[in-house]
């Protein structure tokens, strides 16, 4: 296949589509921009996720149109718009109308620090947005829609996807792309449009945009990339219809070098077969070229945030992502696809610290979310030492594994350097399950790390898995009881039902985990694996177990906590940096706060002063004596292990 283009002022428009949280720029576009501009590519990066939300979706005119549509649907029978769809009620339309009336004030809450730091105002604003998402979901249903969640219940085939992408009644993205984005791209007259798809939840928007570009700008090459494509590589990416209707080509892995070579081929009219790691249509058949080795992360230039629309994000100050490594230094967890990937490398500490300084100096960033979920404690100590020595004023949200190397001394340094919140990969509180997971952690060791982190003022968030293969109901309940009993040092939590993925040790050795009859369900948006579990909880039992446990813990162990109502971890990070751990834990809002009747906490419980970096917060004992319905607690986790074996 050949594309020959006349020279254009713009080589590439790189687009990040909805839906993704519009609080922090995604790192995909700045990383590609840093590489391609260094190579002489003329390009424009477009974060159309945040623009979609703030310029279109949450505008009074758009929402009023949605409300009118909802009123027209109020008399239609349930299910008439698709499976699971329900007609709006009068109470719902009244709530939507009130939320629309105050939408401009609502958005201002997230952008002004004084109002954002008032718990009652920010919770009411979030509840208003949740109601408006319900409105959007109802009039464009059937499906669910939020900041980082977009699921349809009416897309089962490629033909369903193609129909949705041109349906104004169901596709919430179509009017924005058609009326706002396509004219902007046309004015730039690019040689190619690249669409980054990092998540399943972006795929409908990406295909909608690709189809519009192909329809309105037929001489523009549409290429799609991003990690979600690996999830559909054996399904939709092999369907010729995808390349006839939506895109011209797809980059399956890291995009730096393939995009550079693709643009060279488009300029010269050369064949696409010279581009590595590219899928495209040739003589009616989908072909895929051999991939090339991605450049080492440490060799890439700093991400280029030149085109980042900082003022549009729904945060009161600039918040940025940063990456410090590729791969996983541990790489042994049986449920994780990284175990097959043998390259694990870290960006040198000095390079990371230079990037931190650049983000502060050039872009006015204070808050960072670290896009690495497993960095070793020795590396973190070196980063913390550098931040302290350079006097960088930062707050950081990080991910880590609770290994013994996170000593009290290292955690103290990390707190001084600005680490406010750690999302710990705890996974389970059962020794047998941790051994099956090959986590390299112990319950006792993790507990010590959590206690020390809490004592240094660091917020501990526990990431847990329910229904790991062979896990019994009793073991799962033992893990829930562990969270309950240590609510004083596990400040927040999330439970995920176990999901089986390809490229994992479990997938390659199912018999070792009592799994058989693995089947793949291929849809146009994703691929899902089902299986038979011969011992322990079934996948269906785990999926029903998780929401019940979440409700029970939130109600009886955490007492309807503020962090849960805050919903978004970046928002929690801003609160922790301003107030500190203990004051944030102490925030209590009544059930009616969402209607504007909540009250700000007394000044002696929620100080208005900025927390002192490294301030040590005493651990508060967990609640005792509360009712605990439906959860059976094993007397001894070790007994559970022996019985299950």
Cβ neighbours, 10 Å, residue 543:
15
Q: Where are the domains of the chain?
A: 12-54+160-288, 318-593
DSSP 581: H
- Which residues make Cβ contacts (< 8 Å) with residue 108, sequence separation at least 6? 115
Collect all residues with Cβ–Cβ distance below 8 Å to 435 and sequence separation of at least 6.
none
| Structural element, H or E, at residue 394 | none
> Per residue in 304-351, pLDDT tens?
999 999 999 999 999 999 999 988 889 899 999 775 555 678 999 999
Q: What is the pLDDT of residue 176?
A: 98
Q: Which fold has domain 12-54+160-288?
A: Rossmann fold (3.40.50)
pLDDT in tens, 236-275: 788 899 999 999 999 988 889 999 999 999 999 989 999 9
Count of Cβ atoms closer than 10 Å to residue 301 Cβ: 13
574-633 pLDDT tens trace: 999 999 999 999 998 865 444 433 333 333 334 434 444 443 333 333 332 323 333 333
Question: Full-prediction pTM beyond 0.95?
Answer: no
Mean pLDDT score of the chain: 88
Pairing of the two strands 221-225 and 192-196: parallel
Lowest-pLDDT range of 91-105, 176-190, 321-335, 433-447: 321-335
Supply 535's token pair: 């011992």
Indicate if the pLDDT at residue 488 is higher than 60: yes
Please tell me the predicted confidence (pLDDT) of residue 615: 38
Reported as a pLDDT band with limits 50, 70 and 90, residue 8 is: low
pLDDT digits (tens, 9 = 90+) for 430-485: 999 999 999 999 999 999 999 999 999 999 999 999 999 999 999 999 999 999 99
Q: What is the pLDDT of residue 637?
A: 30
Token pair 């089962």 is at which residue?
156
Strands (DSSP E) along 271-326, which ranges? 278-282, 285-288, 319-322, 325-326
Q: What is the pLDDT of residue 350?
A: 95
pLDDT of res. 158: 87
- In this predicted model, what pLDDT tens digit does every residue of 338-385 receive, in sequence order? 755 556 789 999 999 999 999 999 999 999 999 898 899 999 999 999
Mean pLDDT of 489-502: 95
| Of the listed ranges 196-200, 335-339, 496-500, 618-622, the one predicted with least confidence | 618-622
Model pLDDT, residue 112: 96
Q: Residue 77 has what DSSP assignment?
A: P
Q: In what order do the strands lie in the sheet with 249-251?
A: 43-47, 12-16, 192-196, 221-225, 249-251, 278-282, 285-288
- Top pLDDT among 598 and 140 is at 140
Say what the pLDDT of residue 339 is.
58
- pLDDT beyond 90 at 638: no
| Rounded CA separation 281/494 (Å) | 42
Q: Which residues contact 544 (CB under 8 A, 6 or more apart)?
A: none
Which tens digit of pLDDT belongs to each residue from 515-564? 999 998 877 877 788 999 999 999 999 999 999 999 999 999 999 999 99
pLDDT digits (tens, 9 = 90+) for 38-75: 999 999 999 999 999 999 999 999 999 999 999 999 88
- Domain 318-593 sits in CATH 3.50.50.60: no
């Amino acid at each position: 296949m050949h594309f020959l283009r006349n020279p254009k002022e713009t080589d590439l428009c790189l687009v990040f589509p909805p839906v993704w949280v519009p609080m922090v720029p995604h790192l995909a576009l700045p990383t590609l921009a840093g590489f391609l501009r260094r190579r002489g590519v003329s390009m424009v990066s477009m974060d159309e996720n945040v623009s979609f939300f703030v310029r279109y979706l949450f505008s009074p005119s758009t929402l009023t149109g949605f409300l009118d549509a909802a009123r027209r649907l109020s008399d239609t029978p349930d299910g008439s718009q698709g499976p699971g769809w329900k007609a709006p009620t009068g109470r719902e339309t009244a709530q939507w109308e009130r939320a629309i009336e105050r939408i401009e004030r609502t958005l201002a809450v997230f952008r002004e620090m004084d109002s954002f730091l008032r718990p009652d105002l920010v919770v009411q604003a979030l509840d208003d947005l949740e109601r408006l998402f319900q409105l959007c979901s109802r009039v464009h249903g059937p499906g669910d829609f939020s900041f980082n969640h977009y699921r349809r219940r009416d897309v089962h085939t490629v033909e369903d996807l193609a129909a949705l992408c041109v349906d104004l009644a169901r596709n919430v993205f179509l009017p924005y792309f058609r009326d706002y984005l396509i004219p902007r791209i046309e004015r730039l007259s690019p040689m190619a449009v690249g669409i980054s798809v990092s998540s399943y939840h972006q795929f409908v928007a990406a295909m909608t945009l690709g189809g519009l570009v192909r329809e309105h700008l037929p001489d523009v090459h549409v290429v799609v990339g991003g990690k979600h494509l690996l999830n559909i590589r054996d399904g939709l990416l092999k369907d010729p219809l995808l390349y006839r209707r939506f895109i011209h080509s797809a980059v399956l892995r890291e995009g730096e070098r393939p995009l550079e070579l693709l643009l060279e081929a488009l300029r010269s009219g050369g064949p696409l077969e010279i581009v590595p790691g590219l899928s495209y249509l040739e003589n009616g058949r989908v072909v895929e070229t051999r991939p090339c080795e991605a450049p080492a992360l440490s060799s890439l230039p700093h991400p280029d945030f030149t085109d980042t629309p900082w003022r549009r994000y729904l945060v009161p100050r600039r918040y940025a992502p940063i990456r410090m490594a590729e791969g996983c230094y541990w790489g042994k967890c049986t449920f994780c696809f990284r175990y097959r990937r043998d390259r694990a490398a870290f960006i040198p500490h000095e390079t990371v610290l230079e990037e931190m300084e650049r983000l502060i100096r050039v872009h006015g960033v204070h808050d960072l979310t670290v896009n690495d979920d497993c960095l070793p404690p020795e590396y973190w100590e070196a980063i913390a030492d550098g931040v302290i020595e350079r006097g960088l004023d930062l707050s950081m949200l990080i991910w880590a594994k609770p290994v013994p190397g996170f000593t009290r001394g290292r955690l103290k340094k990390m707190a001084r350097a600005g680490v406010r919140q750690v999302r710990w990969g705890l996974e389970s509180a059962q020794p047998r399950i941790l051994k099956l997971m090959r986590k390299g952690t112990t319950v006792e060791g993790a507990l010590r790390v959590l206690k020390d982190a809490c004592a240094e003022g660091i917020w501990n968030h526990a990431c847990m898995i329910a229904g790991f293969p062979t896990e019994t109901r009793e073991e799962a309940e033992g893990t829930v009881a562990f969270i309950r009993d240590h609510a004083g040092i596990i400040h927040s939590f999330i439970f995920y039902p176990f999901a089986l993925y390809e490229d994992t040790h479990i997938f390659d050795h199912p018999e070792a985990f009592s799994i058989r009859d693995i089947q793949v369900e291929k849809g146009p948006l994703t691929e899902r694996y089902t299986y038979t579990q011969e011992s322990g909880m079934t996948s269906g039992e785990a999926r029903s177990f998780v929401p019940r446990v979440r409700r029970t813990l939130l109600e009886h162990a955490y007492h309807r906590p503020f962090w849960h109502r805050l919903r978004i971890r970046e928002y929690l990070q801003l609160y922790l940096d301003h107030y500190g751990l203990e004051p944030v834990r102490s925030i209590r809002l009544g059930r009616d706060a969402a209607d504007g009747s909540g009250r700000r906490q007394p000044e002696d419980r929620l100080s208005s002063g900025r927390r002192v970096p490294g301030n040590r917060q005493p651990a508060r004992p967990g609640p005792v004596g509360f009712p605990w319905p439906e959860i059976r607690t094993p007397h001894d986790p070790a007994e559970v292990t022996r019985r299950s074996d």
